[in-house]
Amino acid sequence: MMSEMRSRSVLNRATYTGDFEVGSRMRVQVQLFTRCREQLLPSLKKESTLGTDTKAVITDRVYKNKFSDYANGDANANANVNVNVNANANADSNDNKGLPEDERIPSYLYGKQRIPFTQEDKNRLDYASGEKHFQLLAFTDKKLIPRSHFMGPVMVCVAQAGNQGSAMTLSTFIHGCFEKNRVAIARLVSRKNAAPKLVVLEPRIKASGECFVVNELPFYEDIRNYPFASFAFNKKFQPTAQQIEAAKNLVNSLNLMEEDDNEGEKELLRPQEMFNPILQRFYENLQCRALDPNAPIQPLSPTIIKYLEPPEEVFRKAEPALKEFAEKFPVTVIRCVISCATFSKKEAKKERKHWSELNDEINDLLQGLSLKKEEVKVKEEIDEDMNIHFNQMLEINAITKIGTKSPIHDFDQLLKKRSSPDHFQK
């Protein structure tokens, strides 16, 4: 029974029940229900103790005072010094004793420093959103809210059951927004002192009923604006009219809407008919293990394989458009042969660095070294876009010995190299 393709039955409970505040004088009794949400696998961290002699694992952690200056409140004393504590050598030291729970202070990394935060600091930083509420902020044009900004699960807003006045008032707002092609922006706090959410209410009118579809909107900190170069600056990157027409034909040929004699147009991949292959695969093997604990992992069923592969009928109809697209956009394989003597795999891995790591290294070098005018050389090599590369503008000498200006930084840089056994003698 569990191996059959079916959806999970979920008890539909309201995530919010209360007033929808429209201004200071109007309150509409509404309810919010979850309409669409990602279904995850059940937790595999729980184990059954029936029929097995198992004992609970007790994790005993011992917190030791690694940095004594932090306990005294001096957080900047060891900010730029890396100290390795040897537990065997300092077993009798006062700084290596276990700390009681009331003396422990959590800390957070800010760059390379650890900033301690007490419980009082957390209480002061916590934002008190107040009692639960659902407030209307404004109405705006539907075109100004892109679908790419929708976040989190989808909810529906309906009037409270049995309240005719609230149902009539909410229906008026739904029809007004639908006719004007506008949406409502609201602030939602589902429970007391919960994190406030900025939501958009989009009207939905069907024969079965009418409601507001609620989607969460991002704040400014949640939006990621990535700058991408335009193809217009170089003519060789601009497609021709034939290439644009071939791309349009390919998109139109892979349309999922198909004609049906009874329903007119029918969607090929409907969410109501598509099951999650991961969940179905999991419950299929769970049924076998329930009947036989030693049963092996079952092979993939044809139904699950069908979900993981593109539909054959659609690509069979789009075969002429695919051939035309391949002819208009020829692809050639470029073979790049690199000599192992000049560039090994280990060196290639070392060259792959995240920008944040590279930025930290540059900042460390700039802080620890005094750059002289004769050490900065500006090269005349300029690329096609008339931009001078950063590595062509700065040329910083490597650290070979421990100086007097920043000996701690020089010592750390020499240890990071690990290229010569004579660094400790220097």
Helix pair 407-417, 355-368: axis angle to 10 deg: 140
- The letter for the amino acid at 7 is S
* The pLDDT of residue 173: 95
- The letter for the amino acid at 92 is D
Torsion of CA 144, 147, 152, 156, to 10 degrees: 80
- The letter for the amino acid at 162 is G
* The pLDDT of residue 212: 95
User: What's the distance, Cα to Cα, between the start and end of the chain in Å?
Assistant: 74
CATH architecture of 11-37+65-81+88-226: Beta Barrel (2.40)
- Whole-angstrom Cα distance, residue 78 to residue 72? 12
Q: Find the length of the chain.
A: 426
User: What are the tokens at 264?
Assistant: 């007119």
The answer regarding whether domain 235-328 maps to CATH 1.10.1600.10 reads yes
* The pLDDT of residue 337: 55
Q: Which of 251, 409, 395 is nearest to 322 (CA)?
A: 251
Residue at token pair 């790049």: 336
The domain ranges of the chain are 11-37+65-81+88-226, 235-328, 353-417
Helices then strands (H, E): number in the chain?
Answer: 12, 11
* pLDDT tens per residue, range 271-320: 777 788 888 888 888 888 888 988 998 888 887 787 778 888 888 889 99
DSSP string, 94-116: GGGSBPPGGG---EEEETTEEEE
* The pLDDT of residue 92: 44
Q: Is the dihedral of CA 227, 230, 234, 236 positive or negative?
A: positive
- Buried b vs exposed e over 265-275: b needs ≥16 C-beta within 10 Å? eeeeeeeeeee
Q: Which residues pair with 113 in a beta bridge?
A: 110
Across 125-256, the runs of DSSP E, i.e. the strands, are 133-141, 151-159, 182-189, 197-205, 210-217
* The pLDDT of residue 369: 47
Residue at token pair 């930290």: 360
* The pLDDT of residue 385: 45
List the chain residues with pLDDT less than 70.
1-9, 46-98, 260-264, 336-399, 417-426
- Whole-angstrom Cα distance, residue 105 to residue 110? 16
* The pLDDT of residue 30: 94
- How far lies 280's CA from each of 37, 79, 122, in Å? 17, 52, 43
- Buried b vs exposed e over 306-320: b needs ≥16 C-beta within 10 Å? ebeeeeeeeeeebee
* pLDDT tens per residue, range 147-160: 999 998 999 999 99
Strands 133-141 and 113-116: unpaired
* The pLDDT of residue 55: 53
